[in-house]
Amino acid sequence: MSEEIMTSIDMERKVEQQQKNDLITNVSHDLRTPLTSIMRYLRLLREEKYETKEQYDE
């Protein structure tokens, strides 16, 4: 009986660890995706060489 309990506890621990890893992966992705867009947009703004829309359209 004791070994069955230990096996069950070990399985639960593995499931919880996987759930934690999945959560961290998802949160990390969900944060990086919009931040990447923001960083690229800021880089474009910083490198902007056009002063007016007309210059941009040329």
Q: Can you tell me the distance from the alpha carbon of 41 to that of 44, in angstroms, rounded to the nearest whole number?
A: 5
Model pTM above 0.75: no
Q: What Rg do the C-alpha atoms of the chain give, in angstroms?
A: 25
pLDDT of residue 46: 85
Does the pLDDT value for residue 57 go beyond 70? no
pLDDT digits (tens, 9 = 90+) for 11-56: 999 999 999 999 999 999 998 888 888 999 888 888 876 666 666 5
